[in-house]
Structures are given as structure tokens and as C-alpha cells.
Amino acid sequence: MTTGTRWLTAEQQVAWRAYLLGTARLMAKLDDDLRQFGLGINDYEILVRLSEAPDRRLRMADLADRLHQSRSRLTHTVGRLETAELVRRTSCKSDKRGVWAELTDAGFALLEQAAPHHVEGVRANLVDLASAEDFAAVGRVFDTVSEHIGQR
């Protein structure tokens, strides 16, 4: 065993594991709650990003970056969402390589249904459980993490 490794302190270790377990439980719970709408949290996040974008559409690569997913994964997922008629793909005029993923009316309608339940779940299982200061700290920490790691 080398002596050089800077192991986590006991408190850090406990916090790190709480984060791992808490995240696993939270994501499973949110996923579960969305299942009644036929969505997973991954699908849900895709629909949300599209709903917020101008003309409710985004380029595939842009969307993939925002969610930190591989393009391949996004292609497959959007393929399924397209089959479900929640998203439509159209080719991009200005860059012929490009593809727009666009939210359909059905997709928007489903999102309107699901969103209140989902937000309620995020509140009940995370936001409302923490003090405003602690939750803000979570935001700060992971914003820094995000910045530090950057794009894939």
C-alpha cells in the first residue's frame, strides 16, 4: 500500500456515500413516478429541453450536450420517442448534416400532464427536505463540478 494516497476523511466518506445512495434512490423514485405517463426520467428531460427551446426544437448534438449523453444514445432514444409520436425529426436546411428534434403537440400535451407530478416529486423527495441554504450549496457544488469536467 502506498502512503501517498489522500484518502477521504471519515466525514467526507460518509457524505460521498450518502450522495451515491441518495442519488440512486431519488432517481429510481422519480423514474417510478413518471412511469404512469409512459416516460422515464431520461425521456422526460429530453421533452423538457425541447419544450423550452425556440420553436420547441433543438439540434441533436446540442440536446446531447445539454444532457451529457452520447449522440448514439440520443439517436436511439429520440427514435423511440418519435415512434411514440412525442417528437418529430426534421432535417436542417442550413447544415445538411444536421437534424432538428422537435416536440410534437402530443409531446407537449403529455409534458403538461406529467410536469406537475414530476415537480411535486422533486419537491417532496429533495427540495423541500433540505434547507434553502443546503440546497443552494448542492447547486453550487454541482455547478462547479460541471464546469470543471466540461463537455465530454
Partner DNA sequence: CAGAGAATGTTGAGCTTTCAACTGATGGTC
Partner DNA sequence: GACCATCAGTTGAAAGCTCAACATTCTCTG
Interface ranges with its own copies (CB under 8 A): 1-2, 4-8, 11-12, 14-16, 18-26, 28-29, 45, 66-69, 112, 115-116, 119-120, 122-123, 125-127, 129-130, 133-146, 148-150, 152
Q: Which does 66 bind (CB under 5 to 8 A by kind): its own copies, DNA, none?
A: its own copies
Instruction: Pick what 47 binds: its own copies, DNA, none; C-beta below 5 to 8 Å, kind-dependent.
Output: none
CA distance 24 to 27: 5
Looking at 78, 86, 103, 111, which residue binds DNA (CB under 7 A)? 78
DSSP letters of 3-48? S---PPPHHHHHHHHHHHHHHHHHHHHHHHHHGGGT--HHHHHHHH
How far, in whole angstroms, is CA 21 from its chain's centroid?
A: 18
87 binds DNA (CB under 7 A): no
